[in-house]
Chain A
Amino acid sequence: MEGKVAHDWRLRGQRYRLEGEECPHCKAKIFPPRDICPECKRPAKEPYRLSGRGEVYTFSTLNSAPEGFENYTPYTVALVKLEEGPMITAQLTDVAPEDVRIGMPVEMVTRKLRAQGDEGTIIYGYKFRPTGLGHAH
């Protein structure tokens, strides 16, 4: 449990605010942050906050969830293509699985991802919902 707390804590910037990196050499936007640019393979450590706007590239609805997510079924996981370029995997929220479409514009929201049982921490992070009430910036 303690090791998990430290792991989640390290990820709070990217989970809460979509904080990635910008490559100082080729200006590629990087998410999740990995300190090496996947485009030009050079060091890239400059923090960069992504807008949270993107569109659904593809998706799948889960009826049988992995441990910790059982309470949320059925839910949809999507590959979201962000407007700055990176593709990220995230749950969709505030939308019925049957209403999800490829190409649907979405925006980032911060939601509860799961809780570590009744006594552990509650993990918050990014999900995406259909665009329309946008405060993504």
Chain B
Amino acid sequence: MAERWTMHPQRPVGIIGYGSYVPMYRLPNTEISRIWGSGDEGGPIKEKAVAGLDEDTITISIEAARNALSRAGIDPEDIRAVWVGSESHPYAVKPSSTVVAEAIGTSPFHLAADLEFACKAGTEALQAAIGLVGAGMAEYAMAIGADTAQGRPGDALEYTAACGGTAFIVGPAEEALAILRGSLSFVSDTPDFWRRAYQHYPSHGGRFTGEPAYFHHIQSAADALMGEMGLEAKDFTYAIFHQPNVKFPQRVGKRLGFTKEQLEPGLISNIIGNTYAGAAITGFSATLDIAKPGDRILMVSFGSGAGSDASVWEVTEALEERRHKAPLVADYIARRVEIDYGLYVRYRSKILVK
């Protein structure tokens, strides 16, 4: 099939460093159902990651960015863009990206901006970084997706809205640990989830978030990219889909022809929750943590409102030597302190103290 929608940079690019961060606190779904549900029936996932009192999207981004830098092994002054995608930037006006950039020690000569597109802001930042490096305007660009997701107490989203994030440094393909083979984006005006200005919690369209939103956008993006590149599910070692729960990515994977085994390393929502702008990319990061040279990986994000970014990556030899220069996603998952609903409402500032 001729390529019409698939995008390629002018020069080959890839990921030269990646890094994640997941806060240590965990709230089990049984705690939420104990307070809001009918007894001990559980919820859509086992537990979700919760940020501590001194953590937010900026601090999560900084930790992920430092891990990405450790793996990339480059001078931070050579980074020409720092883009942070999130729906929970600490300020309504004032970039998160400038704080992150100063903290990792970039030179002031770089682009910086915050992106917002619900759960796909992180992959949007990645697409932009691919464009900047691919056009030859920069050697390196950093793309981050991170969130401290808000869920209204008692709402279905409270079971899964979690905290965490991942950073990538995009650079020339010859330095990459995973080379980009193609990408595309598919968006439409589909109001499945939103938060109006000055509102603390988001609203959503209930079941409307399923077929017309999540499934339509992910399947359309994945079908177009795989079709145009002449690839089928069996041609991939692994696939990662946006993971608002466990069921949705499993179902969309099955519809696209992927097996459970292909999804398994990158499907971590059951144990950390939905980290929103960090979700698909932290699944990708967990997959890179175990991938081998030659592996082909598909990642498809989804952001409400709505859209999907799909990309195909091929792992190189460089991954194995860089992997252990920063903590793995599994290391963060293992660092776990369980909290109850009472501590959760304190940590997430859900009680009025003045």
**B67 A110 Cβ-Cβ under 8 A:** no
A106 CB, min distance to chain B CBs, angstroms = 15
**B99 A135 Cβ-Cβ under 8 A:** no
A6 CB, min distance to chain B CBs, angstroms = 16
Which residues of B have CB within 8 Å of A91? 54
Which residues of A have CB within 8 Å of B332? 133
**B59 A111 Cβ-Cβ under 8 A:** yes
**Chain B residue at minimum C-beta to C-beta distance from A13:** B102
Q: Tell me the complex Cα distance, A17–B52, Å.
A: 21
**Chain A residue at minimum C-beta to C-beta distance from B25:** A94
Interface residue B70 (Cβ < 8 Å from any Cβ of A): yes
Count B-side interface residues using an 8 Å CB cutoff. Answer: 28
**Chain B residue at minimum C-beta to C-beta distance from A93:** B54
Q: Tell me the complex Cα distance, A93–B335, Å.
A: 14
Interface residue B326 (Cβ < 8 Å from any Cβ of A): yes
Number of CB contacts from chain A to chain B under 8 A:
60
Interface residue A62 (Cβ < 8 Å from any Cβ of B): no
Interface residue B317 (Cβ < 8 Å from any Cβ of A): no
B150 CB, min distance to chain A CBs, angstroms = 16
Over the window 59-71 of chain A, the binary record of Cβ atoms lying under 8 Å from chain B Cβ atoms (1 yes, 0 no) is 0000000000001
A4-46 residues at the B interface, CB under 8 angstroms: 12-13, 16-17
Of residues B99, B103, B332, which shows the largest number of chain A Cβ atoms within 10 Å of its Cβ?
B103
**A113 B326 Cβ-Cβ under 8 A:** no
Which residues of A have CB within 8 Å of B99? 16, 124
**B54 A111 Cβ-Cβ under 8 A:** yes
Closest 6 CB pairs of A and B: A111-B54, A16-B103, A135-B66, A112-B54, A133-B327, A110-B62
- Provide 27 A-B residue pairs closer than 8 Å at the C-beta atoms, listed in order of the A residue: A13-B102, A16-B102, A17-B103, A49-B105, A71-B353, A72-B54, A91-B54, A93-B52, A94-B52, A109-B63, A111-B54, A111-B55, A111-B59, A112-B53, A112-B55, A112-B56, A112-B58, A113-B54, A122-B56, A122-B58, A122-B90, A122-B91, A133-B331, A134-B327, A135-B70, A135-B327, A137-B66
